[in-house]
Amino acid sequence: MNHEFSIESRQFNLWYGDFQALFDIDIGIRQGIITALIGPSGCGKTTLLRSVNRINERLGYVRTEGLMKVMQKNILDSDVELAQLRKQVGMVFQRPNPLPLSIRDNILFAHKLHTQSHEKLSRQDENNLVENVLRQVLLWDSVKERLHQKAIDLSLEEQQKLCIARLLPVKPSILLMDEPCSALDPKGTEAVEELLWELRGQYTILIVTHNMAQARRVSDESIFMLMGKLMEHAPTDQMFVTPACKETADYIEGRYG
Amino acid sequence: MFVASELNQHNQKTERLFHFLFALMTILLILPVAVILGVLVVKGGSAISLEFLFTSPSNGMTEGGIFPALIGTIWLVAVALLFSVPLGIAAAVYLSEYANDNWLTRLINLAIINLAGVPSIVHALFGVGAFVLFFQFGTSILAASLTLGIMTLPVVIVASRESMQAVPYVFREACWNMGATRWQTIRRVVLPNSISGILTGVILEVSRTTGETAPIMFTGAAFFLPYLPQGIFDQTMAMSLHLFVISTQVPGVPENLPYGVALVLVVMVLLMNSLSIAFRTYLRNKKKW
């Protein structure tokens, strides 16, 4: 096993009932870089993303086979505690989904979930934590005056940044992003992409995107998927200039989508 | 240009007809409420006084007030709610947040709907059999309130479950993705955001329970008692039964007395309903998503 890999899978297969959505996926995602998952709708990229924190299982009729290692541990093992897994692997959704709480409480939510009552932070420590993560997501200056207002009243861009920020207090090592900019306008998209670069290095980021230009702008490596199979995994520069598969070239050039 | 054709005129005629019909139906709906209230105020208004509210009936229930019945109704409703609200909300939480959609859940849902459709007199007989005789609570506030509680359960469950289901799924998903258990999600996100709907259901049930007569007349409500109940094993008078008794069972009651009792009962119920609506509006304005 290669210890550079934060996420590694071997012969990973996934079925929704009788429908096989992923076929023999072998991936190795290096720690600390941004990897883009690209491919046409229905190719399995979101399914793959959701397999990394096992949130797919909520559906009940999902079956998996193979290995999916997160930080060298096979997360399909029976001794894996999902709460601990999801603490390490944070997820950001297409539509920003801040909880119906204040900005401050949104930030502290995950932290409180994973903290025993006797380890409770003092008010001052909580304030520091909130400021810290809001600074990390480049949101502090615009919201510092209104931490007690509803998070739902923020702009979509700010909401999405908040959704990223609320993952950070529990010190995840991996961030999964499912088309995090698809609900945002170009300015918001640019701001979130800028944020991704800020977070690069500290977190291993796996991002699903439909936007080729975005994949090219933000990612170090890209994975192209088609019909549930991994077609190509290469450094982004290389994939967009000299793709190895014909299918990749066709997709990137927009011949299908 | 732009002159109404024959078809246009015909359509407009039909339009006016239906507009009128629907408005008429709505007015017909409001009319009974207005008439009932009007009659009660006209015929019973003269009976209402502080003395009427705060003294016992006297002279074979043909004079005096309604104090023991008023207190009794409060007892009955309060104990019924203490029983049905926690139980109902717990069941609703299970059905909304934990249960998978399988034959058992569907059977439970069916049972709840059927329970809501059971006539109140049947609940009364069940109450006699189960609480008065089998559990040997005797005819008491406890037995009557448990009977009322079982009657109110389906509505509490359905109202609570529906208001929990109205909390967007994305919030749960967000919580689970941060490693929250179901219970953490329920306590921190689902319940705080559905509490307005749950309370509305509860308060509406309070007003219905207040007026129920059949379930309490065999299980705990008394014809006449010269004293107030001291605990849940005592019998008690109740507004609804008192109204039934003095309107049909006691000779020589002056006409304004039953109307007065009815007026107090209706005003109690209307007050609780208005309270519920005001409360719901308040909570709704507070939450946003």
Query: What are the backbone dihedrals phi and psi of residue B99, each rounded to the nearest 5 degrees, phi first?
Result: -65, 140
Q: Name, in order, each residue with C-beta under 8 angstroms of B162's C-beta and a sequence gap of 6 or more.
A: B197
* Predicted pLDDT at A130: 92
Q: Residue B232, Cβ neighbours under 10 Å: how many?
A: 20
Residue B273 in contact with residue B206, Cβ under 8 Å? no
The topology under which CATH files domain B51-286 is: MetI-like fold (1.10.3720)
pLDDT band at B161 (very low <50, low <70, confident <90, very high): very high
pLDDT > 70 fraction of chain B, expressed in percent and rounded: 99
Tell me if A236 is assigned to some domain: yes
Q: How far is CA B178 from the centre of its chain?
A: 39
Residue A224, strand partner residues: A38, A232
Return the closest-CA partner of residue B67 out of B208, B227, B212: B227
Asked if A86 lies within 8 A of B176 by C-beta distance, the reply is: yes
Residue A61 lies inside a defined structural domain of this protein: yes
Cβ within 8 Å, pair B178-A167: yes
| Interface contact A58-B176, CB threshold 8 A | yes
Inter-chain CB pairs, A–B, below 8 Å: 63
> Are residues A152 and B289, on separate chains, in Cβ contact within 8 Å?
yes
Instruction: Give the orientation angle of helix B67-93 with respect to helix B256-286, to 10 degrees.
Output: 30
Q: Do A99 and B189 touch (CB under 8 A)?
A: yes
> Where residue A66 falls among pLDDT bands split at 50, 70, 90?
very high
Does residue A180 sit at the B interface (CB-CB below 8 Å)? Answer: no
The answer to the question of residue A62 being in a domain is yes
Boundaries of domain holding A191:
5-252
Binned at pLDDT 50, 70 and 90, residue B237 comes out as: confident
**% of residues, chain B, pLDDT over 90:** 37
Chain B residues with beta carbon closer than 8 angstroms to that of A84: 179
pLDDT tens string A200-243: 999 999 999 988 889 999 999 999 999 999 999 999 999 998 88
What are the Cα distances from residue B50, in Å, to B53, B70, B227, B232, B264?
5, 13, 19, 27, 12
Confidence at residue B139, expressed as pLDDT on a 0 to 100 scale = 85
Local structure of B253: helix, strand or coil? coil
Q: Residue A9 sits in a domain of what CATH number?
A: 3.40.50.300
Percentage, residues of chain A above pLDDT 70 = 98
pTM of the model: 0.80
> Are the beta carbons of A97 and B173 separated by less than 8 Å?
yes
Quick check: B80 pLDDT over 70?
yes
Q: What is the DSSP letter of B63?
A: E
Average pLDDT over residues B127-142: 89
Task: Say if strands A221-226 and A89-92 run parallel, antiparallel, or are unpaired.
Answer: unpaired
Q: Which of A87, A95, A153 sits opposite B179 (nearest CB)?
A: A87
Does the CB of A60 have a partner CB in chain B at under 8 Å?
yes
Q: In this structure, are residues A38 and A225 in contact, taking their beta carbons and an 8 Å threshold?
A: yes
Q: Where are the domains of chain B?
A: 6-47, 51-286
Residue of A212, A136, A218 lying closest to A169 (CA atoms):
A136
**B289 inside 8 A of chain A by CB:** yes
Give the tokens for residue B131.
């609480």
Chain A residues inside the 8 Å CB shell of B184? 113
Chain A: give the shortest CA distance to residue B161, in Å: 19
**pLDDT band at residue A1, thresholds of 50, 70 and 90?**
very low
Which residue does chain B place closest to A101, by CA atoms?
Answer: B189
The pLDDT value given to residue B143: 92
pLDDT value at B289 more than 60: no
Q: Could you tell me the two tokens for B187? A: 């306590």
Smallest CA–CA distance, residue A207 to chain B, in Å, is: 16
Q: Which pLDDT does position A2 carry in this prediction?
A: 53
pLDDT winner (highest mean) among A49-58, B228-237, B278-287: A49-58
* Structure confidence at residue A41 (pLDDT): 87
- Whether the per-residue pLDDT at A145 is higher than 70: the answer is yes
Q: Which of residues 152-191 of B touch A (CB under 8 A)?
A: 170-171, 173-181, 184, 188-189
**Do A113 and B179 make contact, defined as CB atoms within 8 angstroms?**
yes
What are the chain A neighbours of B97 within 8 Å (beta carbons)?
none
Instruction: With a cut of 70, say whether residue A257 has pLDDT above it.
Output: no
Tell me whether A114 touches chain B (CB under 8 Å). yes
Distance CA A152, CA A130 (A): 17
User: At residue B288, does pLDDT exceed 70?
Assistant: no
Give the one of B179, B188, B287 whose C-beta lies nearest to A114's C-beta.
B179
- From chain A, pick out residues whose CB is under 8 angstroms from the CB of B174: 93, 97-99, 163
Q: Which residues of A touch B105 (CB under 8 A)?
A: none
Q: Judge whether A257 lies within some domain.
A: no
Å from A11 to nearest chain B CA? 25
Give the largest Cα separation in chain A, rounded. 58
Residue A59 has pLDDT above 80, yes or no: no
Label residue B4 exposed, middle or buried (CB < 10 Å: 0-12, 13-18, 19+). Answer: exposed
In a domain, residue A147? The reply is yes
DSSP letter (8 states) at residue B44: H
Q: What is the DSSP track for A92-157?
A: E-SS----SSBHHHHHHHHHHHTS-GGGPPPHHHHHHHHHHHHHHTT-HHHHGGGTTSBGGGS-HH
Query: Are B216 and B147 a contacting pair, CB within 8 Å?
Result: yes
> Which residue intervals of chain B are DSSP H helices?
6-44, 50-54, 67-93, 103-117, 120-127, 141-165, 169-177, 182-185, 191-211, 214-217, 239-248, 256-286
Query: What pLDDT, on the 0 to 100 scale, is given for residue A3?
Result: 61
Mean pLDDT on B251-270:
88
Smallest CA–CA separation between B230 and chain A, in Å?
Answer: 42
pLDDT tens-digit profile of B241-254? 889 988 888 888 88
Q: Whole-angstrom Cα distance, residue A254 to residue B30?
A: 63
- How many structural domains compose chain A? 1
- The answer to whether A156 faces chain B, any CB pair under 8 Å, is no
